[in-house]
Amino acid sequence: MSVRGASPRRECMEGSILRGIGSFYTVLCDEDGREYTLRAQKKLRHQKLTPMVGDRVRFTPGQGEEDGWLEEILPRRSMLVRPSVANVDMLMLVVASVPAPDLLLCDKLILRATQGSMTPAICVNKIDLGDGLAQQIEAEYAGTQLRVFSVSAHTGEGVGVLREAMRGRVTCLAGQSAVGKSSLLNALFGLSLETGGLSRKTERGRHTTRRAEMMALDGMFVLDTPGFSLLELEDAIEPEAFAQLYPEYNALAGACRFQPCLHDREPGCAVHAAVDRGELSAARWARYRELLGEVREKWKGRYI
């Protein structure tokens, strides 16, 4: 209970981190819907806790000109290191025909989303270019139960379906630079986020978005993130556990001759047979085997 007249101890409030610049964080307060600029308490640094965009936090607001303090980071429902975001429900991987999709990067991001307790989904943008990428992506990820959205931020096609899928959840858009993440958010919600083109020389994105930012819109939270092109696998994971992160292989694993089967070179492998029959993507299987090689190496060297 606070005593009127005496200097009352300011109450802690709860909210979500929308963005962070240097050691300052902007937090949207649950109670009054206002944005507060806060600094992280030293004790957080001592606990080696770095606040992330999307974090649920407790804070003490500042008074007048003075900034408030971020006091505590509440337990995270989910977490991703690249892009660095917390409490995301749906990780929306955005791809386009330009810049050319890097499907190994897609696979890794999907794996990370699954390991980090998020639901991955794929959004094929720029369908106005008429290149058939959406059909290719659907074939690549057949049997994974991943939702694939086909949209154009430019014409608005498919944008309504995507918005409905985002309703009531925290959705993070991620992927290579210049696939149109910021453009999509502009088209979805009438925002005016900065967008960029492709470098003419390298045909790569210009990294227009520089840091992750969360926006509260219409009963949902959406996150725009900087594009990236490199992603490491998680640290050492058991090869059997890795194989289980592929739902379309899991569904067949019972029919493999060896138990457990890593669906690599084992004779009588049901995954291999399904690939030979053209029911599963040969390219995704080749990428899987490449990653499996890395996973095996890391697992062997895990105590070093």
125 lies in the site for Mg ion, by CB under 5 A: no
Mark the segment that binds ligand GTP (CB under 6 A) among 82-90, 104-112, 151-159, 277-285.
151-159
172 lies in the site for ligand GTP, by CB under 6 A: no
Secondary structure letter of residue 3 according to DSSP = P
DSSP string, 193-252: -----B-TTT--B-----S-EEEEETTEEEEE-------PPPS---HHHHHTT-HHHHHH
CA distance 235 to 166: 30
CA distance 85 to 78: 9
Residue 86's H or E segment, with its range, is strand 85-86
Region for 148 from its dihedrals, namely left if φ exceeds 0, alpha if ψ lies in -120 to 50, beta otherwise: beta
Convert residues 111-150 into a mask of x (bound to ligand GTP by CB under 6 A) and - (unbound).
--------------xx-xx---------------------
Contacts of 115 (CB under 8 A, 6+ apart): 234, 237, 245
CA distance 97 to 122: 13
256 lies in the site for Zn ion, by CB under 5 A: yes
Question: Which member of 51, 227, 252, 285 binds ligand GTP (CB under 6 A)?
Answer: 227
110 lies in the site for Zn ion, by CB under 5 A: no
99 lies in the site for ligand GTP, by CB under 6 A: no
CA distance 178 to 195: 8
188 lies in the site for Zn ion, by CB under 5 A: no
Convert residues 5-34 into a mask of x (bound to Zn ion by CB under 5 A) and - (unbound).
------------------------------
Question: Which member of 39, 147, 207, 298 binds ligand GTP (CB under 6 A)?
Answer: 207
Name the binder of 271 from ligand GTP, Mg ion, Zn ion, none, CB < 5-8 A by kind. Answer: Zn ion
Which is it for the CA torsion 197, 18, 74, 47, positive or negative?
A: positive
Write down the least CB distance from residue 269 to Zn ion, Å.
Answer: 3
Question: Which member of 179, 214, 222, 223 binds ligand GTP (CB under 6 A)?
Answer: 179
For 264, the 3-state DSSP assignment is coil
Mark the segment that binds ligand GTP (CB under 6 A) among 101-109, 203-211, 252-260, 286-294.
203-211
183 lies in the site for Mg ion, by CB under 5 A: no
269 lies in the site for Zn ion, by CB under 5 A: yes
Q: Which token pair is 55?
A: 């974090």
Convert residues 216-255 into a mask of x (bound to Zn ion by CB under 5 A) and - (unbound).
----------------------------------------
CA distance 159 to 140: 22
Q: Which is nearer to Mg ion, 144 or 176 (CB)?
A: 176
For ligand GTP, which residue has the nearest CB?
227
Write out the residues near Mg ion by the rule CB under 5 A: 181-182, 208-209
